Chains A and B, each alone.
Chain A
Amino acid sequence: MKIKSRHKKVLVEIICLLFIILFVYAGLTKLMEGDRFYTNLNNSPLFGIKTLAGIMSWVIPILEIMIAALLAWPKTRLIGLYSALGLMIIFTAYTAGILFISPYAPCSCGGVITLLSWKQHFILNTLWIVLAIMGIVLYPKFRKLYGPVSC
């Protein structure tokens, strides 16, 4: 039983680290390719308001980096996991909108992830949602045994 709990702890730590890498990478890439990200949002059929695209081109990457910081700090880690889940649900809903509702598909976001198609994006985002749920489900059980967890 103890080994099982330890495995859960390691699993949550791995999930947490993966989310930190994802959000810091995605956030910094969006900030460094700011013009590109803004234009992508501006061209999006679901996001085509210039003022909103301008605001979101700053809010999204800053939010991603903030969530990564929440995940890194043991006391705010569970909040970080919930925030990561919320953000991934929003991203997945947006991707689903592009895939199933939008009349055309705009360019995807920056970095290496831009090489993925929207369908691949959708699958990848769904996997991240599953990971976040796993992290949340596993987290409180061993928190009672070991206290707050840091990754």
Chain B
Amino acid sequence: MKNLKLILPMLAFVLAIGMSFAFVSATDEDFYVSGYVIIDNEQYPVEVDCNLQSQQDCTVEIEGLSGEFQVFDPLTDQPIKDGTGEPYPIPDPRD
């Protein structure tokens, strides 16, 4: 019983370490920045992996819609910048 009391926390540690390694890649969508896009004059919140250090606009490609959409900062309403200039594919935020 005494051994169990020592082993159980160790097992909890091992379980948690295993879980963190197992799920770290499963949820690795790199959606970093909260912003919004404008679709049909309506604002929709999106989360995109944008690098704020760059001077290139952060754009997204929305599933089921044609063209690129500019991502805006919800605080300043200015376009968010990203590092690549490539549009990020994201699901339709209206869903």
- Residues of chain A touching chain B, judged by Cβ–Cβ distance below 8 Å, are 13, 16-17, 20-25, 28-29, 32-33, 36, 39-40, 42-43, 45, 68, 71-72, 74, 103-107, 110-112, 114-115, 150-151
Contacts and interface: CB of A to CB of B under 8 A. Distances in A.
Interface class of chain B by DSSP? helix
B9 A150 contact: yes
Interface string B19-44: 11101101110111110000000000
Given A107-B31, A107-B32, A28 B20 contact: yes
B9 A17 contact: yes
Interface stretch (B10-18, B54-62, B63-71, B87-95): B10-18
A16 to B, nearest CB: 8
Interface class of chain A by DSSP? helix
A111 B13 contact: no
B9 to A, nearest CB: 4
A111 B16 contact: no
A32 B18 CA distance: 13
